[in-house]
Amino acid sequence: METKRIYPDTEAKKEQVLNEAAELIRRGEVVAFPTETVYGLGGDALNSSACAKIFEIKGRPADNPLIVHVASVQEAKKLVKNWPWEAEVCARQFWPGPLTLVLPKVDIVPDITSGGLDTVAIRMPSHPLALELIARAGCPIAAPSANISGKPSPTEGEHVWQDFCGKIPLLIDAGKCKVGLESTVLDLSGKIPLILRPGGITWEQLNAVLGKVELDPAVEGNLPVSGSFKPKAPGMKYRHYAPQGEIVLVSGDKEQRIAQIAARLNSKKAGERIALLCFEETIAALKEATPNGDQSLISKADLMFPLGSRNNQAQAASRLFKALRLCDQQKISLILAEVMEEKGIGRAFMNRLKKAAGYKKDKL
């Protein structure tokens, strides 16, 4: 299949691509489009065969449900059995935006969309192109992140192109996604609101408006080893975002972090390819730590990916997935990644980083 890649950089192109994409979705096809979090692989959420295509193209396990994207609160209410006050407050405060609400579904939502669960995950994205696409398609759009299952989520049109060129009819390429990590998934189907996946809207923000919000144990990686354990967000049990190389988390105070990185670089083995995913301050300190401008230590790193300043958590969050993809492209075998405090967006950043590292606790 030929994949059209359209850059909506003029009003005319925007009009053309939105109409084309909306028409494809109405016909039961699957298209890739930008959201403020990551790119989505979208199809008509109420059409079982369109959703089946999404699972097939992505190589996604059938028990991992899709997020349904809507363009208004009224549209969301039509998909659920009840709309509790928590949903109302969240929608008013955080929609459109990176927050997904899980609520008991009505029958018009096909079982395939919800992965066989009796709940549905809904979000109203804030990216203008996503909102306009949903409105023009005239149906809610089911969309997982537009990456092949197991790869890092796509934060640029180029990443979608790498994964799905030839497999979908259309990619709307609007460049970089602002948030760069997926939406927060908040389960409102139980007694107490429960975060199933930390993301663009933080626990702190949710607590401030809802009072009491809990964090699913699966988020922290406290997953029992036995196969019988079922996390509430089925996606959390899969090893997502996994680069080919091994990830080692770099933590501690500044001196400890520098020492850890230096030790790894100094003991570099033949054939090993090392990447540094570090804050600018650490990279500067590492350069200073090498005596008399001797670059021999730092030059042992095969890839240096600055995450931005330590003081800008949001920027580091938006760069993580790109960094992980680049590590694969450059055949990196060891990734030394600096940790972030698990507060605010740092909780989502660390969740993705630890998942990518396969939750190897001994490496922490």
Site residues, Mg ion (CB under 5 A)? 145
The interface partner of residue 97, options being ligand TXA, Mg ion, none and the CB cut-off 5 to 8 Å by kind, is none
> Could you tell me the maximum CA-CA distance found in the chain, to the nearest angstrom?
70
Distance in Å, CB of 118 to Mg ion, minimum: 22
Q: Which lies closer to ligand TXA via its Cβ, residue 265 or residue 350?
A: 350
- Which residues are CB-contacts of 74 (< 8 A; sequence separation ≥ 6)? none
The interface partner of residue 333, options being ligand TXA, Mg ion, none and the CB cut-off 5 to 8 Å by kind, is none
Q: Which lies closer to Mg ion via its Cβ, residue 279 or residue 349?
A: 349
Q: Which lies closer to ligand TXA via its Cβ, residue 78 or residue 331?
A: 78
The CB-side HSE value for 59 (13 A sphere, CA atoms) comes to 10
The CB-side HSE value for 147 (13 A sphere, CA atoms) comes to 21
Distance in Å, CB of 117 to Mg ion, minimum: 17
Q: Which lies closer to ligand TXA via its Cβ, residue 102 or residue 274?
A: 102
| Encoded tokens for 204 | 């702190």
Residue facing ligand TXA at closest CB distance: 235
Q: Which lies closer to ligand TXA via its Cβ, residue 218 or residue 274?
A: 218
Distance in Å, CB of 259 to Mg ion, minimum: 35
Residue ranges that bind ligand TXA, judged by CB under 6 A: 35, 37-38, 40, 64-67, 98, 100, 102, 114, 117, 119-121, 123, 125, 143-145, 182-183, 185, 196-197, 232-236
The interface partner of residue 196, options being Mg ion, ligand TXA, none and the CB cut-off 5 to 8 Å by kind, is ligand TXA
Separation CA 95–CA 196 (nearest Å): 18
Distance in Å, CB of 218 to ligand TXA, minimum: 10
The interface partner of residue 109, options being ligand TXA, Mg ion, none and the CB cut-off 5 to 8 Å by kind, is none
Which CA distances in Å does 154 have to 100, 182, 267?
18, 10, 33
Distance in Å, CB of 175 to ligand TXA, minimum: 16
| Encoded tokens for 3 | 């994949």
Distance in Å, CB of 99 to Mg ion, minimum: 16
Measured at the CA of 181, the angle between CA 177 and CA 186, to 5 degrees, comes to: 125
What is the separation, in whole angstroms, between the first and last Cα of the chain? 44
Helix axes 254-266, 280-289, angle to 10 degrees: 60
Separation CA 56–CA 121 (nearest Å): 20
The interface partner of residue 245, options being Mg ion, ligand TXA, none and the CB cut-off 5 to 8 Å by kind, is none
Closest by Cα among 24, 44, 21 to 34:
21
- Cis before 306? omega within 30: no
Distance in Å, CB of 69 to ligand TXA, minimum: 6
Q: Which lies closer to ligand TXA via its Cβ, residue 120 or residue 327?
A: 120
Q: Which lies closer to Mg ion via its Cβ, residue 55 or residue 279?
A: 55
Closest by Cα among 156, 146, 2 to 69:
146
